[in-house]
């Protein structure tokens, strides 16, 4: 038996990490939408690497909030 409960929606089972991924993805889109007009990406050496690191940090923060 698992420690974390499985969430069932319309007969489909979802692990809790699925919702953490969705929430962190929504936060990532919001933060990215704010950072683009500010001009932060002009100072970033590798935007794709920056986006990956930003998503990982947001996912970590969201997962810490869910625990």
Predicted TM-score (pTM) of the model is: 0.82
What does 28-64 look like in DSSP terms, one character per residue?
Answer: HHHHHHHHHHHTGGGS-S-HHHHHHHHHHHHHHHHHH
Dump pLDDT digits (tens) for 9-45: 898 988 888 989 999 999 999 999 999 999 999 999 9
Is residue 4's pLDDT more than 90? no
- CB count, 10 Å around CB of 64? 9
């Amino acid at each position: 038996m698992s420690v974390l409960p499985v969430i069932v929606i319309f007969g489909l089972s979802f692990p809790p990490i699925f919702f953490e991924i969705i929430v962190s993805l929504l936060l990532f889109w919001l933060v990215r939408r704010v950072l683009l007009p500010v001009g932060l990406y002009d100072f970033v050496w590798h935007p794709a690497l920056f986006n990956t690191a930003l998503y990982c940090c947001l996912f970590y923060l969201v997962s810490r909030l869910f625990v």
